[in-house]
Amino acid sequence: MSEVPKGLDWKAFTPDDSPKTPLDLASDPVLKDLSTPDLEVGDVAFDFDLPIYDYSDCVEKATDKNFHLASEASERPVALVFGSYT
């Protein structure tokens, strides 16, 4: 297990019901491997098909349409942006 930096309060951003702390996650070789990409520039992205939702009224509404990466990428370049917000 890694040493906790002085003054850093891991509990401040770890959910109360979490069985692991961020230090546990960082020191777990299996989880560390999952967080490391195995792709190189130019590799083909993994295909996926996901439902499209309309949030224009700040409410999630199903559109009955799907986004299929392979179909979209065959027609034009596609940029994927991943992020998190709360």
pLDDT band with cut points at 50, 70 and 90 for residue 69? very high
Taking all residues of the chain, what is their mean pLDDT, rounded to a whole number? 82
Per DSSP, the three-state class of 54 is strand
Residue 36 contacts residue 28 (beta carbons within 8 Å): no
**The pLDDT of residue 42:** 82
**The pLDDT of residue 1:** 47
Q: Where are the beta strands (DSSP E) in 1-68?
A: 49-54, 61-68
Mean pLDDT along residues 45-58: 91
Q: Is the pTM higher than 0.85?
A: no
